Amino acid sequence: MALEDAKGQVDLAFTRDDLKGCAFENTFGGATSFLRRKYTKDLKGVDLAVTGVPFDQAVTNRPGTRFGPRAIREASTLQPYDPPYGWGFDPLGDFAIADYGDLAFDYANVAGTPAAIEAHIAGILAADVGAVTLGGDHFITLPILKAYAAKIGPLSVIQFDAHSDLWADDDMDRVDHGTFMYKAVKLGLVDPKRSVQIGIRTECDDYLGMEYIDARTMHEKGAAWAVARAKEIVGDAPTYVTFDIDVLDPAFAPGTGTPVWGGLANWQAAAVLRDLAGINMVGGDVVEVSPPYDASGITAVAGAHVAFELCCLHLWNKR
């Protein structure tokens, strides 16, 4: 059946009528929507929207994540042929996932971008649809959290990252990917006592009450222990999952702006994401994929897998 479908399928991002179902379009051809889902701004009947925010003007080191959403979409064309391994359900067949396209914004008006991001996500949430966002640098998570908190109140957060992003910065209008979590806590968007950071391996003076599981602890105690602790911390609270690709060791994800050695292996990240199934996940993102430093494309492939896992996490409780 797949072979026969492949002979007639092309540009499913525009030509498919049904929002559900696997796709057998040739990996190397056609329009590269995320997982070959339909590009649409019509969220009627949609269970989950995937959207891109190609913004990278908040970085402290190497830029390039503005190309992240495009690269992740292209890498994701390897995945829509079968249900994702190990989940035990078929998110593409059972649920309507749409590619909502990218945020439109004025690249030269950096100060106005946070409000544009917040409004973009708020528009998705207003349709009672969850969002998985493709970044972009990690600053984008702050206005996303504002949109979520405005709808459902303070959130628990599970943050996968090499950096805490808790640098003290009380200028709430300053745009910086290294301070987004500090501001999210200070603004009351995030409940730090019910949030956890995983994979940390850079210094932080004050975690503002957030617990962290550093990379070495993950290596020594294992993925199962980390999952159990994360679930204990967030409980049944509405939880946002943000995944900075630099949580992975540079051997697995060289295409990022601020690489730090000693990070997680792909298999560890995959195990944790999969075993988090059952948390009350309301949304998530994968950020900091920087294609200019990703010569082999492996970082984009990792980002695409993370994004698909986030979709599975979000839909798990809706089965």
Number of domains the chain is built from: 1
Handedness of CA 29, 87, 212, 224 (dihedral sign): negative
How would you write the pLDDT of the chain (319 residues) with one tens digit per residue?
A: 565 567 789 999 999 999 999 999 999 999 999 999 999 999 999 999 999 999 999 999 999 999 999 999 999 999 999 999 999 999 999 999 999 999 999 999 999 999 999 999 999 999 999 999 999 999 999 999 999 999 999 999 999 999 999 999 999 999 999 999 999 999 999 999 999 999 999 999 999 999 999 999 999 999 999 999 999 999 999 999 999 999 999 999 999 999 999 999 999 999 999 999 999 999 999 999 999 999 999 999 999 999 999 999 999 999 9
DSSP classification of residue 24: -
Report the C-alpha gap between 219 and 148 in whole angstroms.
32
Report the C-alpha gap between 140 and 57 in whole angstroms.
10
Token pair of 26 as six digits: 């040739």
Q: Do the annotations mark residue 173 as ligand-binding?
A: no
Q: Do the annotations mark residue 165 as ligand-binding?
A: yes
Contacts of residue 117, Cβ cutoff 8 Å, sequence gap at least 6: 53, 55, 103, 105, 140, 143, 144, 147
Question: Looking up tokens 């956890």, which residue turns up?
Answer: 196
Looking at residue 247, its amino acid is V
Written as one string, the DSSP assignment of 173-228 is T---TTSHHHHHHHTTSB-GGG-EEEEE-S--S--TT-EEEEHHHHHHH-HHHHHH
Q: Do the annotations mark residue 102 as ligand-binding?
A: no
Q: Do the annotations mark residue 177 as ligand-binding?
A: no
Q: Do the annotations mark residue 246 as ligand-binding?
A: yes
What CATH number does the domain containing 144 carry? 3.40.800.10
Q: Do the annotations mark residue 275 as ligand-binding?
A: no
Domain membership of residue 74 as a residue range: 2-316
DSSP run (H or E) holding 231: helix 223-234
**CB distance 237 to 282 below 8 Å:** no
Looking only at the bridges linking them, the beta strands covering 130-135 and 48-53 are parallel
